[in-house]
Amino acid sequence: MTSLSRISINNDGFFQTTIGDAGISAHQIETLSTRLDPLRQKISQWNNPDAVNFLNLPVTNGLTEIKKLGQEISQQFKQTVVFGIGGSSLGGEMLINTLGSGDHKVLFYDNVDPNTLGTLDKIKWEDTCLLVISKSGNTAETLSQFLTMLPTMNQVLGKEGVQKHTRFITENEEGALYQLGQRLNIPVVPHPSVGGRFSVLSVVGLLPAYLGGVDVDAVVDGAHAMAHRCSQDDINQNPAFYNGAAQYLHAEKGRTLSVHMPYADNLRMLIDWFRQLWAESLGKIDSQGINKGMTPVAAHGVTDQHSQLQLYLEGPDDKQITFFASSGAESQGHTVPMEFQDIPAIEPLVGHTTGELFTAEFQATRTTLSRKGRPNRTVSLHERDAYAIGELIMLFEMETVVVAELMGIDPFDQPAVEESKILTRQYLAEFGKNA
- How long a stretch of residues is the chain? 435
Q: What distance in Å separates the CA atoms of residue 307 and residue 406, rounded to the nearest whole number?
A: 33
Gyration radius of the chain over CA positions: 23
Q: What distance in Å separates the CA atoms of residue 204 and residue 190, rounded to the nearest whole number?
A: 10
Provide φ and ψ at 396, rounded to 5°.
Answer: -65, -40
- Strands 166-170, 291-292: parallel, antiparallel or unpaired by DSSP? unpaired
3-class DSSP state of 189: strand
The Cα-based distances of 316 to 184, 320, 403 in angstroms read 56, 11, 22
Q: What distance in Å separates the CA atoms of residue 245 and residue 231, rounded to the nearest whole number?
A: 15
- Is 306 a catalytic site residue? yes
- Is 27 a catalytic site residue? no
Q: Which of 306, 334, 430, 433 is catalytic?
A: 306
Q: What distance in Å separates the CA atoms of residue 247 and residue 270, rounded to the nearest whole number?
A: 19
Q: What distance in Å separates the CA atoms of residue 406 and residue 408, rounded to the nearest whole number?
A: 5
Q: At 157, which helix (H) or strand (E)?
A: helix 140-165
The Cα-based distances of 385 to 6, 155, 164, 247, 390 in angstroms read 9, 42, 34, 26, 9
Q: At 105, which helix (H) or strand (E)?
A: strand 105-109
- Is 319 a catalytic site residue? no
CA neighbor of 186 nearest in space, from 144, 123, 133, 121: 133
Q: What distance in Å separates the CA atoms of residue 431 and residue 310, rounded to the nearest whole number?
A: 46
Neighbours of 41 (CB within 10 A): 10
Cβ atoms of residues 167 and 72 within 8 Å: no
Q: Which of 78, 159, 228, 421 is catalytic?
A: 421
CA neighbor of 98 nearest in space, from 260, 227, 222, 212: 212
Q: What distance in Å separates the CA atoms of residue 15 and residue 251, rounded to the nearest whole number?
A: 14
Q: Which of 93, 171, 280, 330 is catalytic?
A: 280
Cα torsion 385, 391, 393, 395: sign: negative
98, amino acid identity: T
Q: How many CA atoms lie within 13 A of 195 on its CB side?
A: 15
Residues labelled catalytic: 280, 306, 421
